[in-house]
Each structure stands twice: as structure tokens, then as C-alpha cells.
Chains A and B, each alone.
Chain A
Amino acid sequence: MSKKTDQTEALAKNYDSFARRHIGISEEISLKMLDDLGFNSMDNFIQSIVPESIYSNKDLKIDDGLSEEAALRHIKRISKENRLFKSYIGQGFYNSITPPSIQKNVFENPSWYTSYTPYQPEIAQGRLEALINYQTMVADLTGMEIANASLLDEPTAAAEAMTLAKRLSKSKSDVFLVDENCFSQTLHIIETRAKPLDIQIKVLAPKNMLDQECFGAFLQYPDTNGVINNYSYLVDGLHKKKALAVFATDLLALTLITPPGDYDADIVIGSSQRFGIPLGFGGPHAAFIATKESYKRSLPGRIVGASIDVHGKTAYRLALQTREQHIRREKATSNICTSQALLAIMAGFYAVYHGPEGLKSIALRVHKYAVTLKVMLEKNGIEIHSSSFFDTLVIHSGDKTKDFIKRAKIKKINLRIIDETSLGISMDESVSFEDLKEIIEIFCEENELIAPNETLSCISKDVRRTSDYLTHSIFNSYYSETELMRYIKKLCNKDIALNTSMIPLGSCTMKLNSASEMEPISWPEFSAIHPLAPTNQIQGYLKLINELEQMLEVITGYSVISLQPNAGSQGEYAGLLAIDAYHKQNGDNQRNICLIPRSAHGTNPASAQMVGFKVVPIECNKEGNISIKDLKEKIKLHKENLSAIMITYPSTHGVFESTVIEVCNIVHAAGGLVYIDGANLNAMVGICYPGAFGGDVSHLNLHKTFCIPHGGGGPGIGPIGVVDKLKSFIPGFHGNPNNNVGPVSGSNYGSASILPISWMYIKMMGSKGLKKATEIAILNANYVAHRLGDHYKILYKGQNGLVAHECIVDVRPFKDSANIEVEDIAKRLIDYGFHAPTMSWPVAGTLMIEPTESESKDEIDRFCDAMINIKKEIQDIENGDLDITDNMLKNAPHTAEEVSKDEWDHSYTRSRAAYPLEILKEKKFWPPIGRVNNVYGDKNLMCSCPSMEEF
């Protein structure tokens, strides 16, 4: 082999390298940027930022990066180790058909999956409308007044409903009654959540519930065995006791059965998975929660509401945000931040596409097949334990049970094995007439399938639905694919996503979600697996999970990783439960104080409250770092009771605090444990290890550091890593009697079906690529701080005047000098085609910018140019060249409609409004609405699609 060929191969390898596609800055440009910052090498630069005490120059023990093609080949092989059976197990997870038009136009479309949570409504009207469609659908089908924009999964929604009932009920009881026929995973999560809050769980049959004192009761409707009971008497009885009635239900069944709202239910939850979302080995799926209008302020999670913009036009926005953790901290209604936006949006489009008639016809077919199955089996002498049901039958299989299971296996069919003498089977949308014959063949030798009787119904008359649903025109207009495609495109056009421009949100890490990372999650070998499938069918998943866990252990320096928590908030909860369980095992039952710096994300105190901790805030010094003095004082005050400190590293202020080891040591010396919030892990990968420099537990946000797309507000994944001594306190598996800590998520591996994204990222980046990503993310942030530093004050800096992977720009002085507030700048950036940086967090009145490694220098410069030009506009106001009330910032953003109107009565020109920089003439984003009126929206809350007259 000649040397020349070697070189050609090396070149080709470099060209194939994924890191080169993921990272927006070439080697050459990075050297130039370093030079601008006064450094001659990347190593010098990084070592000037990261404290020596934690810096590690060891290579990550991760293989070299694979090319996209090679990684896809590798994961394809793994996927083939999953065995595709047809699962009729049910239990909250059903086969569903994702309409290909939704698969292509939404699920596989970066306009939807790369967008951020719609906190800036003017550039998010598309996804906000899609989410309000979802809310309207849930409210209509459940018969309730108001629904939120989704929760993480059905079991955690049940737990949220329990705590909601506790907050609302006027009963003094601390007992929550749970239907003995609820899904088992739901019961496990309710038990985990109830324990630290001192809520007593009593599991019993609904008919015995009225004999008990309680603040609320949880009913599964239809229940785990498919039975549909009329609960109107029960709800009445509960209300007489001042208790709330919580229903878990099934949206497809609700097209045929009495909605819980008709029973006067107080809270209704469930999963929208069967509305076009794949099984995905248990998640992600959008759960829903709906309640009465009067309870809206206590509802957890995000709520989309309709308001008006400055021109009086209907405008959607996130409503009642003061309920949420980012404002209410430990007093929030829940610690939840992420929802399952992308999945909720898909489920909403599923309802838009099928409409009320289409959904009903799907439900009728599902029911008809279930009825046919019952008739056929009974005809063959098999006893069915179901009289009033929708889709699920319990079959008394007696001594033939094993035989039936064996025959099902030969046909590659999974049934629900209830016990030694009974089997369960749930019908779904995907079941064809052929499938039905196959199922019947399992049970009957003779196979003469009678034609299903069109009129026969096994839903008792007293539980049949009589009310209308989905009557709004949105659900009655888009049945043709052409119309649906254009409707989806119309909504996309209203939004900024990563396929529009850089999204510089500090703390959110809007990096590339590459196409090759996304590809495997659409494969049936990953998407069509039931979470309760037998182990021999899920070997591919287990292998992938195991490899991902190992890689994350290496990256974080922790001994064990649990991938179960399906959001960062849930990771925090799981991590704190582990800490609490550890102390209790050591007999330290009194340790319940959780120290949290003032600069922490609001989820930290909200999570601490949920595990029964008392939050004690720690002050920050004027550099924005943890005050060691205050930390020592607080520890002195609470030494005996100290449980943990929760810190974020690098800090939420975007700084590598040099005292981090000292902080960890002080807490450890007092017997406390250190929780390191991994929200900013992307600044540490390959250069320092939280599990090695003092952390006992961390959660990681796979949707930040490891490329899971934000999906307009979810899905996220929040695995935790723990040190060795905590390894037996990670979240337990469902149904495992040896759990020290119960499960925290509805499925053992949380949002399993999107784990391939992070696996692909790590495999393709490899050891060097991962480290490079960290370095470039830090370089880009410092480049931004450097360029903007001449025009704005950079609020906090670390050692050598450098920031970590993000920086805070202080715009508070402009309030006095030009009457300009942070919101004015954020909205003005829209006129320049950008999503605003993080606004007023972690410091009110500031902007936090995080460019990530994926942006090119050109794009970063374009953003900086916009910021610098805005500063000039502010100066014009300060100098009196622009009017203090009528200027481009106060009136931002400007819509096309406004700028092209015949009348123009502003003190500045149209071109200054819309084209403040020449480059915008080539690429212009027009916001669909002007600035949203938040006050109007919160005073006149409206969380369903507005009627046409209101437009």
C-alpha cells in the first residue's frame, strides 16, 4: 500500500466525518476566532476557562466516530435484534397507524421537530395553533372545559392529577383511592409520588369507594380489563364527601362512550398515543390532562391560550405561566417543564385529518372486531369475562392458557398474560380482517369466521355517548391530503425553527438534530415494539440501551446511568429520591434540607418540594457565583438536617465557577450530597466529569447535549447518573418487588424510541468529535461575548474574563436611557429574522445567548450584526433621533400586513421597520402577528380553538 493511497483514504475519512457536518466551524476558522480572542491554541483557550482543579486532559474512552452511513448500518443491525410481533397486549399502549402525511409533513419535518417551546409567541403561531387543536380535541372528547398542552405519560399524568386533587379538595383526608383495575404502571407511579408527600394510597374496587374517607378517587374508564362502568352515582358520592373524581380514559373509546365530563368528573387524564403515535417501546407519547374551568390556575404543565395582538388580531400564546416552575419555583403546581409537544401536535393533526366521523368509524371498527372475537370464541365454548367493553376482552383460557400462548407465539402474536387461567386481548386500529382471523385461529380449531354484525354493540346503553365532539371547523376541513399538507405548511410558515435561523436560546442548547440521527426512530424495529413485549423480542433495544448507558457513564464519570426519567424535571425528581433514600438507609431520616442557589432553574426547588425537602436558598455574590460565606452559614444552621445541595455546572450564569470543588467539599463534610444539574453538560463533555469532581447525582438533558430535538416543547429525556454508593437507589422497574425507589416514569426505559438519536450522535462524533463540540460551543459563546462586549455589558464572566458556553447580555440600563426593556429587544430581533435569546432568565431584564457548536461563523456574525444594529437604534432613541414611544423597538415585531398598508403613521420609515439590514432583503421572516397582549390573554382565558367569528 503506497503512502499516497493512505493519504487519499485519510482525506476521504475526514470528508466522511460526521463531526464536520455537526460542527459549524472549520479548523481554520476556529483558529482565526481564537486569534481574535487572543489565543494561539484551543488547549490554551479551554484551560484559561475551565478551572485547573477539574480539568481533565485524558481522552474520552469512546470509540472514534463512525461515518453517518456506517453508524446507520451498525444501528440497523441492532434494530434487527428486536423481533416484530403483533402485540394485542393493550394496557395503555396500542398499535396505531400514523397517517403517512403526518409522518412526512410533521414527524420527519424539521420545521416541527427542531422548533423550541413557544415562549416567543410571535414566531410560534403555527405550533401554538397545532397545540390548541390538541387541547380542543382533548377537552371535546373528555367532555371537560379545559385541557393542557400535554404531560409526559399517562402514569405521571395520573400522579399530577392526584396532587392537583389534593390542592383543590376541601376534604381534610390524606387518602387517595385508586381503582384496583387501573393499569399497573399507573398505580406504581402514583405510589412513588404519594410517598414523600404523605398521601395514603388505598387500592380497592370502585363499588367500595364510597365507604372510605378520601380527598380524591382515581377511576380507570374503561378499566384495565376493558370493562366500562357507569360512574355517575360514584362521582356524586365523592363530591358529597368533598372529594374529587379523577378519571383515566381512552380518547378512541370516548368517541363511543359517555365522556367523564358528563359524570361531572373533576380531572380527566390519559394517553393520546393511539391517535397516530407509534408504540415505540413505551414512549414518548403525549399524555393529556383536562379539568374544570374553575380549576385552571391549579393545572400543571403548559396551557396554550388565545389572546389578541397589538392590532387586535387573534394570537395564541402560553397562558397562565405564573403557575409554572420557572416563575413559582417551589410553590409551582408541578416541577414539569417539558411536555410532549411534538407528539401532542401529531395527535392533534390525527384528529384534524380523520375528523369526528373518521374517528368514530375507526372506533366502531375496533369495537366490531372485539365483539366478533367475543362471539366467535363463545361459539367455540370459550368463556369471555366481559359484557360491557370497547376494545379489550378478558378470556377465561383455563388449563389451555399455556397452549394458547404457544400458538400465539407461532403466529408472532403477543397476548396479555393476566394469570395462569386468563388472557387479555385488546383490539386496535391496525387490526385487519385477516389479523382477526389469525387471532381466532389461536383459540379455535374450527375457523369459520362469521360476518361481523354491523349493529351488535357490547357497550351498555347507559354508557353510550350522546354528545357531539370535534364540531369546530378545524376538525371538519382537512380530509384530503392536499388540504392537510397545505394546512401543515401554512402553520410551519408562521414559525422560526432551526431550519430558519440560529436559535440562540441560553440554557436550551439548540444544536443540530441531524437527519441521520433521526432516521432510525422511524424504523418499525424501533417504533412498533410494545413496552410489555417479552424479553426475547427486545434484545436490540436492550443492547442499544446498554451501550448508551455505558457511553454516558464514560462521559459523565458516574458509575450507573438510568435512562428511565423521560424529562429533565423527572430526572431531578429521580435524583433527589435517590439522595433521600440513601440518607434514610443510613438512618438519617431527619435530613430534609435542600440548599439551592438563587440562580438555580425554577425546576430545582419545585422538584425538591416534591420529594418532601425543605428548600433553603443560597445567595450569590456580586460576580453571580455561589456565596461561600452564605453556604457556610446555612450549613451551620442546618447541619444535622442537610440532605443535599443542587448546583448547576457551569452555572446558570454561564460561568465555570472556580469554587465548585470547594462547594462540593463543604457539603460532603457536613454529610450532605451534591446534585449537579446537568443542563449545561454540553460545556463539560470531554473536558471535565461531574461524577469525578464532586457530584453524587446528575440528570442530563439528552434533548440539549445529546441532540434529541426540542419538538416545539418536547419530547425530552432526563436520565440520571449516580456514584457507586447510590446505585441501588436509581428508579426501579415496574413490578419489581426489590425496588428501593419506585419507578418514576410509565415505562421502564422512559422515552425509549428516541434513544437511537443520542446513540447515533455519540457513535458518529466519537471521542474527538464530542470534545471538539464542547470546545467550539465555548469558543462560539466567547466570540459572541467578545463581539457584543463593545456594545453591551456582559453581565458575568469567569476566570480570565471568559464565559463558558453561553453569556448574559445586560440590557437593563436602557430602561432609563431609552425606555427600552428586554422584551422590546427580543421582539425587535424577530424583525431581523431571529428567535430571541432566553429572556429574563436567570436574571430579570437580561438576555442569555447560547450559540452552540452547530452554528457557522457567518450565522453567528449575522446574529451579532443584528444585536449591534439594535444597539444603534437604542442610541438613536437616547439621542432623540427616534421617538421614545413610537420607535421600531417598541412596535416590534412588524408584520407584512402592517408594513404594506396604505397608511403608515409611524415616526420612522417602513424600510427601517422591516429591512434594517441589507441582508434581510435576501432572506426575510415575516411574523404572522404583531406583539401579543399577554394581559388580555390571562384575563380572558380561552384554551380551545376560537370560533371563526373571533378571527
Chain B
Amino acid sequence: MNEIPGDLRFKKSHEWVRVEADGSVTIGISDHAQDLLGDIVFVELPEIGTQMSAEDEVAIVESVKAASDVYSPISGEIIEVNEVLLDNPEIINESPYHEGWFYKLQPSDSEEIDELLSPEQYGDICEE
């Protein structure tokens, strides 16, 4: 059973969102997603300053057997990306919720966060 931390919100497409104290959000992919992908060998991250809308393709993550688009769960401006991943993409496998975060975003519509899945709802989806 994959880990699903209780303090995060999720998208059906396996991204997670953590709301930080300063109002920004951190985004990554779930433990379940990294498990499905297998050994991750490559990540493409967005450029800082890009304006994203919810559902936009924001990043690419590749293992030796699959390539997946990562969709931005919410709208806003990219303010930071986790450049460590570019050289060490395996961190996503090792620590999907902590060191393996993808990017930080300044939300333009905080209501979108409320529409995301709760850990319980996401857990049910993973079960299916």
C-alpha cells in the first residue's frame, strides 16, 4: 500500500498539493504514481515565471518504460522549481512527498485548492 499523507490535497491524475504557510503551494507526484512509473530517469520542469492554468501540462516525468505528463492541479505563477531533480530524478522514487517535489506556485485562485481531492478520496481512486 502506497503512502498518502493526510495533510495534502490530490488530483485524480496523481499530483499532490501542499499549501505552505506563506500561501504558496508545493506540487509533486504521489507515491502511487512513482510506483506505477518505476525507476524514474528524467524530469522536465517548467520555467520560473510561467503562468499556468489548472489542467495545463506543466512537467514531464519519464521512467524506462513510461512517460507521463504532469498536469498543474491549480492555476498560478511558477515561483520555484526543484532543480535537484534534473540530475537526480531517482529522488522522486525515494521521497515523492518531500525531497522529490516538482515546483512551487503562487496560486491565482485559492478556491481551486478546495476542489481538489482529500487524501481519503484519492486513496479510494488508487484502490480502483
A-B CB proximity, top 9 nearest: A322-B67, A938-B41, A934-B64, A935-B39, A322-B62, A939-B41, A938-B64, A328-B67, A935-B64
The residues of A that contact B69 with a CB separation of less than 8 Å are: 331
| Cβ contacts under 8 Å, A321 to chain B | 64-65
Contacts of A938 in B (CB 8 A): 41-42, 62, 64
Instruction: Kindly list 10 other residue pairs between chains A and B, CB separation below 8 angstroms, not including A322-B67, A327-B66, A935-B39.
Output: A297-B42, A321-B64, A323-B67, A327-B67, A328-B67, A331-B69, A934-B64, A937-B64, A938-B64, A939-B41
13 contacts between A and B (CB under 8 A): A297-B42, A322-B64, A322-B65, A322-B66, A323-B67, A327-B67, A328-B67, A934-B64, A935-B64, A938-B41, A938-B62, A939-B42, A939-B89
Contacts of A939 in B (CB 8 A): 41-42, 89
A327 to B65, CA, bound (A): 8
User: Once bound together, how far apart are the Cα atoms of A327 and B63, in whole Å?
Assistant: 11
Which A305-351 residues have a C-beta within 8 angstroms of B? Answer: 321-323, 327-328, 331
Query: Chain B residues near A323 (CB, 8 Å)?
Result: 67
What 1/0 mask marks residues of chain A from 926 to 938 whose CB sits below 8 Å from any chain B CB?
0000000011011
Kindly state the separation between the CA atoms of A840 and B62 in the bound complex, as whole angstroms. Answer: 17
- A487 CB, nearest partner CB in chain B, Å: 30
The docked-state distance in angstroms from the alpha carbon of A328 to that of B65 is 10
Contact with A along B67-101 (1 / 0, CB 8 A): 10100000000000000000001000000000000
Q: Roughly how many angstroms separate A934 CA and B40 CA in the complex, as a whole number?
A: 11
Residue of B nearest to A844 (CB): B65
Can you list, as one digit per residue, whether each of A917-951 has a CB less than 8 Å from chain B (1) or not (0)?
00000000000000000110111000000000000
A939 to B93, CA, bound (A): 14
How near does chain A come to B67, taking the closest CB pair, in angstroms? 4
Closest B residue by C-beta to A297: B42
Q: State the Cβ distance, B122 to closest chain A Cβ, in Å.
A: 22
> In the bound complex, what is the Cα–Cα distance between A285 and B39 (angstroms)?
37
- Complex: A331 Cα to B64 Cα, angstroms: 16
Instruction: Give the Cβ gap from A22 to chain B, nearest Cβ, in Å.
Output: 36
Instruction: Provide the residues of chain A in CB contact with B64, threshold 8 Å.
Output: 321-322, 934-935, 937-938
Residues of A within 8 A of B (CB): 297, 321-323, 327-328, 331, 840, 934-935, 937-939
When distances are taken between beta carbons in the complex, the residues of chain B under 8 Å from A327 are 65-67
Contact of B63 among A322, A840, A937 (CB under 8 A): A322
Nearest B-chain residue to A322, judged by Cβ: B67
Task: Tell me the smallest distance from the CB of B79 to a CB of chain A, in Å.
Answer: 21
Closest CB-CB distance, B88 to chain A, in whole Å? 9
Collect the chain A residues with CB atoms within 8 Å of residue B62's CB: 322, 938
Chain A residues with CB under 8 A of B89 = 939
A125 to B65, CA, bound (A): 20
**Residues of chain B contacted by A328 (CB below 8 angstroms):** 67
A937 to B: closest C-beta gap in Å: 8
- For chain B, residues 34 to 53, give those with C-beta under 8 angstroms from any C-beta of chain A: 39, 41-42, 44
Nearest Cβ on chain B to A397's Cβ, whole angstroms: 55
Q: How far is the CB of B61 from chain A (nearest CB, A)?
A: 10
- Quote the shortest CB–CB distance from B86 to chain A (angstroms): 12
Residues 104-122 of B contacting A (Cβ, < 8 Å) = none
How far apart sit A297 and B41, CA to CA, in the bound complex (Å)?
Answer: 12
Looking at A297, A331, A934, A939, the one whose CB has the most chain B CB atoms below 10 A away is A939
Please name the residue on chain B nearest to A328 by beta carbon.
B67
Complex alpha-carbon distance, A297 and B64, angstroms: 13
CB distance from B120 to the nearest CB of A (A): 26
Residues of B within 8 A of A937 (CB): 64
Assembly CA distance A840 to B38 (angstroms): 15
A938 and chain B: residue at smallest CB distance? B41
- A934 cross-chain contacts in B, Cβ below 8 A: 39, 64
* Chain B 15-33: CB-based contact to A (< 8 A → 1; otherwise 0): 0000000000000000000
- Bound complex: CA of A938 vs CA of B65, how far in Å? 11
Q: How far is the CA of A660 from the CA of B19 in the complex (A)?
A: 51
User: With a CB–CB cut-off of 8 A, which chain B residues contact A840?
Assistant: 65
Task: Give the distance to chain A from B55, nearest Cβ to Cβ, in Å.
Answer: 16
CA A25 – CA B69 in complex, angstroms? 48
Distance from A812 Cβ to chain B, minimum over Cβ atoms (Å) = 14
| CA gap between A898 and B66 in the complex, in Å | 31
In Å, the complex CA distance between A937 and B42 comes to: 12
A331 to chain B, nearest CB (A): 7
CB distance from B31 to the nearest CB of A (A): 19
What A residues does B63 contact at CB under 8 A?
A: 322
CA distance A945 to B122 in the complex (A): 47
Minimum distance in angstroms from B121 CB to a CB of chain A: 23
Q: What's the minimum C-beta distance from B38 to chain A, rounded to whole angstroms? A: 8
A937 and B69 CA atoms in complex are apart in Å by: 22
Q: How far is the CA of A937 from the CA of B66 in the complex (A)?
A: 15
CB distance from A248 to the nearest CB of B (A): 29
List chain B residues, Cβ under 8 A from A331. 67, 69
List the A residue with the shortest CB-CB distance to B40.
A935
Chain A residues whose C-beta falls within 8 Å of the C-beta of B41 in the assembled complex: 935, 938-939
Distance, CA A331 to CA B62, complexed state (A): 13
CB distance from B89 to the nearest CB of A (A): 8
Using CB atoms, name the residue of chain B closest to A934. Answer: B64
- A937 and B41 CA atoms in complex are apart in Å by 9
User: CA A939 – CA B88 in complex, angstroms?
Assistant: 9
A92 nearest CB across to chain B (Å): 34
Cα separation A322 to B65 with both chains bound (whole Å): 6
In the docked arrangement, what's the CA distance between A509 and B81, Å?
47
Complex Cα distance, B63 from A840, in Å, reads: 15
Distance from A814 Cβ to chain B, minimum over Cβ atoms (Å):
18
Q: How far, in Å, is A323 (CB) from chain B's closest CB?
A: 7
In angstroms, how far is the closest chain B Cβ from the Cβ of A934?
A: 4
Across the interface, name the chain B residue whose C-beta is closest to A937: B64
Which residue of chain A is the closest to B61 with respect to CB atoms? A322
- A539 CB, nearest partner CB in chain B, Å: 49
Which of A322, A323, A840, A934 has the most chain B CB atoms closer than 10 A to its own CB?
A322
Q: Within the complex, what minimum Cβ distance (angstroms) separates A282 from chain B?
A: 35
The chain A residue sitting closest to B62, CB to CB, is A322
A617 → chain B closest CB, angstroms? 16
- In the bound assembly, the distance between CA atoms of A938 and B63 in angstroms comes to 9
Residues in A whose Cβ lies below 8 Å from that of B65 = 321-322, 327, 840
Closest chain A residue, CB of each to CB of B64: A934
| Closest chain B residue, CB of each to CB of A329 | B67
Complex Cα–Cα for A297 and B62 (A): 10
Cβ–Cβ < 8 Å partners of B44 in chain A = 297
Contacts of B67 in A (CB 8 A): 322-323, 327-328, 331
- Alpha-carbon distance A934/B62, docked complex (angstroms): 13
Kindly list chain A residues whose C-beta atoms are within 8 Å of the C-beta of B39.
934-935
B69 to chain A, nearest CB (A): 7
Distance in Å: Cβ of A79 to nearest Cβ of chain B:
47
A323 (CB) vs chain B CBs: closest residue: B67
- Determine the distance from Cα of A938 to Cα of B44 in the docked complex, in whole angstroms: 14
Query: Cα distance A328–B62 when bound, in Å?
Result: 10
Distance between B81 CB and nearest chain A CB, rounded to angstroms: 17
Nearest CB in chain A to that of B41: its residue: A938
User: Measured between alpha carbons, how far is A939 from B64 in the docked complex, in Å?
Assistant: 9
**B58 CB → nearest A CB, Å:** 15
Set of chain A residues within 8 Å of B66, measured between Cβ atoms: 322, 327
Nearest Cβ on chain B to A836's Cβ, whole angstroms: 15
Chain B nearest CB, measured from A935 CB (Å): 4
- In the complex, what's the smallest C-beta–C-beta distance from B111 to chain A, in angstroms? 29
A827 to chain B, nearest CB (A): 15
Distance between Cα atoms of A331 and B69 in the complex (Å)? 10
- Bound-state CA distance A323–B62 (Å) is 9
How close is A298's CB to chain B, nearest CB, in angstroms? 10
User: Closest Cβ of chain A: how far from B72's Cβ, in Å?
Assistant: 17
Give bound CA distance, A323 to B64, whole Å: 10
Which residues of chain A are near B42, meaning CB under 8 Å? Answer: 297, 938-939
Which among B41, B63, B69 has the greatest number of chain A C-beta atoms within 10 A?
Answer: B41
A938 CA to B64 CA, complexed, in Å:
7
The distance in angstroms between the C-alpha atoms of A327 and B61, with both chains bound, is 13
Chain B residues contacting A935 (CB-CB under 8 Å) are: 39, 41, 64
Docked CA distance A935–B62 (Å): 11
